[in-house]
Amino acid sequence: PPGRKVLIVYAHQEPKSLNGSLKRVAVEELSEQGCSVMVSDLYAMQFEPRATRNDIVGCLHNSEEFNYGVETREAYKRGGLSDDVIEEQKKVQEADLLIFQFPLYWFSMPAIMKGWMDRVLVQGFAHEFPNCYDSGLLKNKLALFSFTTGGSKEMYAKGGISGDIRYLLWPMQHGIMHFCGVKVLAPHICFAPEFVSEKERKKMLIAWAQRLKTLWKEEPINCSPEWYFK
């Protein structure tokens, strides 16, 4: 609906890739609905994935012994995080929906996107024990993981060689997003695009566009271990 804000965190090196096209389709479709869409194109931004001392501007809370979690929490409180982190946190803060668009690497997200999670979702901003899971600080937001795989759907079936695709979603959807209070929409998975025809890839884009048309009517998944391991 008009007025909704969407942040697409996108990790692919090639705009002409299927991931690039999926991102483009999302921007077009959601903009057409009257949503305002922001894109963090991590490779184009040369986003720094490493969690280092450079993420803290000014004096350290404890200069004797460096603890990244503590230092970023304290820096967040006083507005002393590095500009690139603050910039991303602002986008997250504004967004009603976060879409993560990426190719699956080694059963997970690419390092540059994992680095985004590591650096942006700071304690005090995204979570603050005991405020995690349903009471995480980013509650009232939605997230959707949209990704491509190398392996086929059969390989990622429950009895398949790679195991149920849902097992891989547990650390990403539950361990990161749900931990921060974000509600998770069903993932959008394009299986093995490299091994299908151009026509099939077009169909994948059309299916994504179709889903986006009614996205705001969707209910989040049941954020419990059963969803992942049943």
Count helices and strands (H / E) in the chain. 7, 6
Number of domains in the chain: 1
pLDDT of res. 110: 98
State the pLDDT at residue 58: 94
Q: What is the predicted pLDDT for the residue at 230?
A: 85
Using CA atoms in the order 166, 122, 94, 27, what is the torsion angle rounded to 10 degrees? -40
Q: Can you say how many angstroms the Cα of residue 182 is from the centroid of all Cα atoms in its chain?
A: 11
Are 133 and 126 contacting, i.e. CB atoms less than 8 angstroms apart?
no
**Ranges in the chain, pLDDT < 70:** none
Question: DSSP character for 19?
Answer: H
E strands, 36-129, in order: 36-41, 97-103
What is the spatial distance between Cα 21 and Cα 26, in angstroms, rounded to a whole number?
Answer: 9
pLDDT tens-digit profile of 122-155?
A: 999 999 999 999 999 999 999 999 999 999 999 9
Give the structural domain span for 63: 5-229
**What's residue 104's pLDDT?**
98
pLDDT of residue 85: 98
CATH of the domain at 72: 3.40.50.360
Cis peptide before 130 (omega within 30 of 0): yes
* Sequence-distant (≥ 6) Cβ neighbours of residue 173 within 8 angstroms: 143, 145, 184, 187, 221, 223
The SS3 assignment for 68 reads helix
